[in-house]
Structure 1
C-alpha cells in the first residue's frame, strides 16, 4: 500500500464498520458513519469496506468502494477531512482547486470548501476527520486572534517530502496505539495521548499553507529557487521556454526544480508556466476590448491557436472569444 503496510494498518483494519457488495447499502452506511452525500456509481464491481476508530477527538478510517464512484457531499461545516489514497487515485475538487490525489499526494479539505470527489475503481483511502471545534481551539493557542477568522487550506499535501513523511509517521503512531484504548488494555496517560492528538493538528496548521497561518504572518517562506523560476516565467511569457531554460536561470537542475514545484505548487514547472500564460491571456482579453485572440495568444507564448483555445476552455470553462465577447 505504498508506505502504509498491512502491519501498520492492522489495528484499524480490525475495527470494521461494514463490508458490502450492495450500492444502496453502501451509500447509507457511509453516510451514517461520515456524512450525508450523493453517490453516483460509474462502473465496476461494488466491493465496499469501511473500518473506523476514534483517538480522542479524531476519527480515522479506511474506506473503499471497489467500483469507480463520483461523490458529492455538502460542505463539511463541522469538521476538516484529510484524504490519503492507500492505493489507486482520486480527483478531489475543493472549490476552484483540484487535487489529483495518489499515495504521494493527500488532500486537506477545509470545513467550508465546496467539494466534489471522483474515486477511480480500486481506490482505497485513509481518512482523518478533525472536528472543527478542536481545530479552532488549537488554532487559537497557535495563532491567537488570527485564528478567529475563516480557515482555509491549500488542499494538496505532498507526502513524498520530509514534512509529509513526518505527518504520515504521526498518523501511523496513533494507529499503533489504538489497542491501548480498548477496554481492559493498559492505557497510556490521558495527557500524553492528548498531546499526540494536538501535535498532529499543529503539524498541519504550521506546515500546510492556510489562512490562519497567513494572517498571523507565519506563512513559510518559499524556496528561493522556486521564486526565481516563477519570476523568470513571468518576465518571459512570450519566449519559447523549456524546462532546462527555467531551471538554469533558477540555479537548479531540472529534476530538483520539478520536485520544488510538486512540493509547493502541486504541479510541474511547465504546467505552472501554462497556467500563468493562460491567466495573463484572460486578463488581457478582459482589459483590452480591442485585442484579438490571436494577438493575445502569441503575446503569452502560444504559437498554436487551436491548442491555446483548448487549454483556455479547460481552465476557464469558455473559449477565449467568449471571454472577449462578454467583456467587449
Structure 2
C-alpha cells in the first residue's frame, strides 16, 4: 500500500459519491454542507467546470473526496473553519494559503488548516483532493487524554506536511489503508470500526505533525513528572472545581508563592492556574449540559463556579463551537424529533 497516492484516483470513494455536476451553485451548496462555505472562480470567464464529491462520515472523522475538470479554479473559504482539515493532493496540485503560511500541495506535500482559520486555494485543471476532516472537540479531547491535562486550544498545526518524513509517511499510509478499506462493503470500517480508525488517525497526526503542544506532548511521552506543588493544586481543582480557587488559596495548598505556582503551572501544564480552573469548570458544565442536568444554563453555570453567565457562555462557545443553550436544548429534545 502506497498511501493516498497508491490509491486509484478515478473512482476514489466512488461507493460514497454524493454529487457529480456542472452546476456551480449546486456544488457550492454541497461543499458548504460537507466542509465549509466557499466561493470558486474559474481562471477563464465562461469556463464550464465539471465536479464531483464523495463523502464518508465516520463520526469524529470524515473523508471528503473532490475532483474538478475544465479550468483552473480559485477557491476561497468565506467562513472560518470550525474543524481540522487535512488536504491531500491526489492528482494535480493546489497552492494553499492561510494565515500561517503558503503550501504547494502535490504527491509529496499535504496541508492542514486549523480552526479559526480561512484558506485561499488555487487548483490546477483536473485537480483531485482528499480532505480528512477531524472535529475540533475530538482532536482536542484526545490530546487532553494524551497529555493528562487541559488544552485551552485550539491546537495550531504547522500547515505544511512533508509526506517524505518517516512518521508522516506512515500516517499517510494509514489514511490510504482506510480509503482502501472503505472501498469494500465488508471492510473493518463497515463493521462499526469507524471510531477505531478515527482514534488511531488522531493519535498519529498529533504525534507526527508539529503543533503548538508538541513540546508538551514530547515531555509527557518521555515521562517528565510534575512537582508535588502542581499535583496538590490539580487534586484540589479536580475535587472541588466550584469552590474557592483563587490564586492565594491555590498557592497556600501548593506550599509555594503565587509567582512560583504560576511558573510551575506554565512549565509543567502549559497553562496558568486560572486557565486550568476554567477548563475543569467548563468540562463539568459541558457534561451537565449534555445530560440535561439542569433546567437553565445559568443554573449549571453557577453550579460549577461561574459568576457571570455571559462570560461562561462566551468561554463555552469558544471551546465547544456552539452556545451552551444549544447543547442544553439538544439534551432536552424529546426522542423522535429528528435533527
Return structure 1 stretches of 4+ with deviation > 3 angstroms.
8-11, 74-77, 179-182, 185-190, 214-220
Q: What does residue 110 of structure 2 align with?
A: 106
Q: Pick from 3, 6, 10 the counterpart of residue 4 of structure 1.
A: 6
Name the SS for the 2:13 alignment partner.
helix
Aligned CA distance change for structure 1 residues 160 and 168 (closer, same or farther; 3 Å): same
Equivalent residue for 1:130?
134
Q: Which ranges of structure 1 fall in alignment gaps of 5 or more residues?
A: 221-328
SS at match of 1:147: coil
Structure 2 distance, partners of 1:100, 1:26, is 24
2:176 maps to 1:172:
yes
1:117 aligns with 2:118: no
* Offset at residue 153 of structure 1 (A): 0.6
Tell me the CA shift for residue 12 of structure 1. 1.4
CA–CA distance in structure 2, aligned partners of residues 179 and 49 of structure 1? 17
Structure-2 residue corresponding to 1:79:
83
1:21 is aligned to 22
* CA apart distance, 1:13: 1.7
Instruction: Tell me if the contact between 1:143 and 1:212 (Cα under 8 Å) persists in the aligned partners.
Output: no
SS in 2 for 1:148: coil
Question: Which whole-Å CA distance do the structure 2 matches of 1:157 and 1:186 have between them?
Answer: 27
Indicate conservation of the 8 Å contact 2:84/2:114, yes or no: yes
| Cα offset, 1:112, TM superposition | 1.8
In 1, Cα distance between equivalents of 2:199 and 2:93 = 29
Structure 1 residue 78: Cα displacement: 2.2
Change (3 A) 1:181 1:212: farther
SS in 1 for 2:125: coil
The alpha carbon displacement at 1:56 in A equals 3.3
Q: Contact 2:39/2:75 (CA < 8 Å) preserved in 1?
A: yes
Deviations along 1:179-235, one digit per CA (max 9) or x if unpaired, are 6778xx887775x65333211111111110001223445499xxxxxxxxxxxxxxx
Q: Is 1:194 aligned to 2:198, yes or no? A: no
Kept in 2, the 8 Å contact 1:21–1:47? The answer is: yes
Kindly report which structure 2 residues correspond to 1:277-316, keeping only aligned pairs within 5 A, or say none.
Answer: none
**Normalising by the residue count of structure 1, what TM-score does the alignment of the two structures yield?**
0.58
Is 1:142 aligned to residue 143 of structure 2?
no
Quick one: distance in 1 between partners of 2:49 and 2:58? 29
On the 8 A contact 2:7/2:176 being kept in 1, the answer is no
Cα deviation for residue 29 of structure 1 reads 2.5
Distance 1:218 1:73 in 2: 36
Q: Provide the C-alpha distance between the structure 2 equivalents of 1:21 and 1:157, rounded to a whole number of angstroms.
A: 32
Is the contact made by 2:110 and 2:161 (CA closer than 8 Å) also made in structure 1? yes
Corresponding residue number in structure 2 for 1:47: 50
Instruction: Tell me how far apart the structure 2 counterparts of residues 108 and 211 of structure 1 sit (CA, whole Å).
Output: 14
Deviation at 1:94, TM superposition (A): 1.7
Hey, what's the Cα distance between the residues in 2 that align with 1:172 and 1:140? 27
Q: TM-score when scaled to structure 2?
A: 0.57
Structure 2 counterpart of 1:162, from 154, 166, 170:
166
Cα RMSD after superposing both structures = 2.9
Tell me by how many angstroms 1:69 deviates.
Answer: 1.4
- 1:140 deviation in Å? 0.6
Map 1:208-227 to 2 at 5 A.
208-216=209-217, 218=219
1:58 alignment counterpart? 61
Length, aligned pairs only: 216
Give the superposition deviation at 1:162.
2.0
Residue by residue, what CA displacement relative to the aligned partner does 1:273-315 show, whole Å, maximum 9, x if unpaired? xxxxxxxxxxxxxxxxxxxxxxxxxxxxxxxxxxxxxxxxxxx
